[in-house]
Amino acid sequence: MSAPPGHQLRPVETPASYGDVSDDPVAGLRRLPMFRGLTDGEAAQIGKVAKIVRIPQDRIVPRAGEGDEAPCYYFLLKGQVAFAEFTQGTVPKGPPNPKKRVTPTMQIAKRVVTLFDVGDFYTNEHVEYARGGDGQKYDMALFTCVHVAMLQLPKAEMDRILKNLPKVKEAVEIQAEESYYRQTLLKLDDRADLLDLYVKQGFEYAKAIKIIQTDKCIDCDECVKGCEDRHGISRIERFGPRTGLIQFTLNCRTCSDARCIDVCNFDAIGYDKDSEVIVYDNCVGCTKCAKACPHEAIKMVDIKDEAPAPDLVQLVKRSKDDKPGTMIAKGEEAVEKKKKAKRIANKCDHCFGYADMACITACPTGAIIQIDPRALFRRDGGLIDRADRYFEPEPFNLGYAQTTRVQGVWGMQILFVLSTIGVLACAWEFVARKLEPSWSIWRPLVGLVSGPQVAATLLLNYTPVTGFGRWMGYLGGGMMVLSALYTLRLHVPGLRKIGSSKTWFDFHVVFGLAGPVLSLLHTDLHIWNIMERTLVVSLWWATFLIVVTGLVGRFLYTAIPKMEANTEREKKKLDEGIQAVADQWASMTMSANVLSQFLKAQEKTKQREERNNQEMGGAQFLWFLFTSEIERVSAEFALRFKTMGQMRNAKLRRTTIKLMSRRSVIERRQQFYGLTKRMLAQWRGLHIGVSIVMFVMLVAHVAISVYAVGW
């Protein structure tokens, strides 16, 4: 189903730009596109039966039929309203207690089904409960995500308006068609899950969020260290909600309805001139702002005041007043009271006052970025003819940088191209001097610079210890040293101030590939006889091991998050199929649904194994692979001959066994990915350790060579 081209999927204006909404229903009508064509008389007539309704955030919108609530239409003038499933009995009743920390309604909801924006309309005549995708019955309710202002029209009056005003009816039908089209899109390609995450995490009212692209992250933790170096304590937490290849950090999002500000009784937190939420020096550590934040973005930290320097004058006076011979009995000494640490709120202010953000600057791969959540979730589509971008899953499934192409890597690409040209030129010259000197490109270059006579005198031989071969060693060794300086920079504070982490990492990658090739040419390909050239051969193979460990590690850091995300999607679709089988089984028998019980037991077992595998070493990792395979086979055997014995329908039994067997394979794959990511830290340690050994051997090799032959 489509709408006429050019019609808007959502209003161009964002809720924040609407400002205050007056209590005049006619003014409210004029704000809505579908009523802007009314004459003054028609607007005044409708205004007599309409009214402006305001509902605070986190409140349930009364449903028609509850108490004296009559059927009505609501037109959103400001804010957002969501329609969601709630576990039965958990729909909040009445206003929250301001003295008690209350979980936001959006986070109590089991699943958000629909989000209504400014300009949308809905009716309060909705179902009381519905069956969710897992077969369970859930209470259904409308709730306010933020403070909302709505135009309320009784249903009977709305029906009369649509009957008597054809233009309004046409505009309402177009709006309804667009809304239906939008909701239909949410049923495709996992978009509904993105909507659910978007609402529950409050991204609609967030102005800026930080995300980590897991397919680019190497778990170096430099973002956290960079933040700590600048502010004394880290203001960012890496491991927030995650979906696909996007990891959301736990830090301040500069919410447009900052709940942390309203609860502060000391004016210690507020907006600055750039609309950034700042914690001021008069914070008393009451913790109200931290409790009010629904996204764990504010942490309370203890700050100890430095002990004041001793007053020498007072010490001298005190010594004169002491009477000689006076002693204090043991155990009666006055114990000096320790000064209690001051507790204050600590939060990210996006490095307010600095030219950059420490966490982003410190990231060597560009994995962490700050972005408008509407751009990430493709809420900025605007027109209905671009509605295919609405909650598009590609940035999460394929990678944000890969999808949007907004993160250029021109610097690294140029460096890589130049290095490749240089390495190929050196390799060509090496082959020419070994096989056919007339192929040399060095002689023509010298002829262009110094003249043909000088070029004719050149001896185009090749030895590792003189001339071109020796300079190949210097160049290759120099590249390896520059590559190793990236690792050294991480542990030497002074080097952190020189250049950016990304520039150093680019040199680390490019020179870490080019340097070993030139070093190989420098050895004249004599890399096997370790007995005659022990140091040289060992040095080159150490270099080769560094390259291999680096490439394998980088591949795993990039590939595992993608495989993990694909596996998670596959498991979700498989669980939907298993649930469908469970529902079919439940419809054919009154006995206990063993399949549903088995699924719950599987989830508990998985959670227990994840807790036990947090600190697994290398040997334990191999043992886990062996034992988990045995457990998988035994579980499949029990499933086939015990659990499914109660299912008499042979076709249904075969389908169930196939699905559950596939599920056990997927769960084992997920465990493998999780353990592999933890093992990568040890792999990085091997890479760094070999680099240190190589660096020492390189220094020894250069020193011996210079001593024996000279420069």
Q: For residues 600 and 383, which has the higher predicted lDDT (pLDDT)?
A: 600
Reported confidence tier of residue 382, pLDDT bands at 50, 70, 90: very low
686 φ, ψ (degrees, to nearest 5): -65, -45
Residue percentage of the chain with pLDDT more than 70:
77
Number of domains in the chain: 4
Q: Summarize pLDDT for 328-369 with one digit per residue, the tens.
A: 455 555 555 545 557 788 888 888 888 888 898 888 888 898
Contacts of 230 (CB under 8 A, 6+ apart): 351, 354, 358
d(CA 243, CA 565): 8
Q: For residues 1 and 622, which has the higher predicted lDDT (pLDDT)?
A: 622
3-state SS of 632-684? HHHHHHHHHHCHHHHCCCHHHHHHHHHHHHHHHHHHHHHHHHHHHHHHHHHHH
Residues 389 and 278 in one domain: yes
Element (H, E) at 290: helix 288-292
Residues 242 and 357 in one domain: yes
Q: What is the mean pLDDT of residues 684-703?
A: 83
Q: What is the mean pLDDT of residues 382-408?
A: 71
Residues 84 and 154 in one domain: yes
- Predicted pLDDT of residue 592: 44
Q: Name the pTM for this structure.
A: 0.74
Q: What is the mean pLDDT of residues 16-42?
A: 79
Confidence check: pLDDT of 526 > 80: yes
Residue ranges in 50-201 assigned as alpha helix (H) = 105-108, 155-164, 166-185, 191-200
Residues 265 and 287 in one domain: yes
- Predicted pLDDT of residue 383: 47
The CATH number of residue 42's host domain is 2.60.120.10
Overall size of the chain counted in residues: 711
Q: What is the mean pLDDT of residues 236-249?
A: 88
Residue 646 in any domain: the answer is yes
- Predicted pLDDT of residue 5: 38
Confidence check: pLDDT of 381 > 60: no
Reported confidence tier of residue 75, pLDDT bands at 50, 70, 90: very high
Chosen domain end from 200, 228, 255: 200
DSSP 49-79: T-EEEEE-TT-EEPPTTSTTPPPEEEEEEES
Residue 291 in any domain: the answer is yes
Domain that holds residue 644: 553-591+617-711
Residue found under tokens 């809304």: 179
Confidence check: pLDDT of 629 > 80: no
* Least trusted range by pLDDT, from 124-128, 408-412, 426-430: 408-412
Confidence check: pLDDT of 319 > 80: no
Q: What is the mean pLDDT of residues 169-187?
A: 83
Element (H, E) at 248: strand 246-248
Q: For residues 190 and 597, which has the higher predicted lDDT (pLDDT)?
A: 190
d(CA 358, CA 340): 31
* Least trusted range by pLDDT, from 202-216, 272-286, 442-456: 272-286
d(CA 8, CA 4): 10
Residues 644 and 558 in one domain: yes
Q: What is the mean pLDDT of residues 189-199?
A: 86
* Least trusted range by pLDDT, from 173-182, 288-297, 300-309, 476-485: 300-309
Confidence check: pLDDT of 288 > 80: yes
Residue 387 in any domain: the answer is yes
- Predicted pLDDT of residue 16: 37
Written as six digits, the tokens of 608 are 């227990």
Residues 220 and 107 in one domain: no
- Predicted pLDDT of residue 60: 92
Q: What is the mean pLDDT of residues 463-484?
A: 86
Q: For residues 419 and 616, which has the higher predicted lDDT (pLDDT)?
A: 419
Residues 121 and 251 in one domain: no
Residues 507 and 458 in one domain: yes
Residue 609 in any domain: the answer is no
Residues 490 and 469 in one domain: yes
- Predicted pLDDT of residue 533: 79
Residue 520 in any domain: the answer is yes
Residues 457 and 581 in one domain: no
Residue 491 in any domain: the answer is yes
Compute the mean pLDDT over every residue in the chain, rounded to the nearest whole number: 78
Confidence check: pLDDT of 311 > 70: no
Residues 225 and 289 in one domain: yes
Confidence check: pLDDT of 442 > 90: no
Q: Summarize pLDDT for 560-583 with one digit per residue, the tens.
A: 888 888 888 788 777 777 777 666
- Predicted pLDDT of residue 4: 36
Residue 547 in any domain: the answer is no
Q: 467: burial class by Cβ within 10 Å (0-12, 13-18, 19+)?
A: middle
- Predicted pLDDT of residue 144: 92
Chosen domain end from 200, 219, 243: 200
Residue 535 in any domain: the answer is no
Chosen domain end from 165, 180, 200: 200
Q: What is the mean pLDDT of residues 38-58?
A: 89
Q: What is the mean pLDDT of residues 297-311?
A: 69
Contacts of 485 (CB under 8 A, 6+ apart): 495, 504, 507, 508
Residues 97 and 84 in one domain: yes
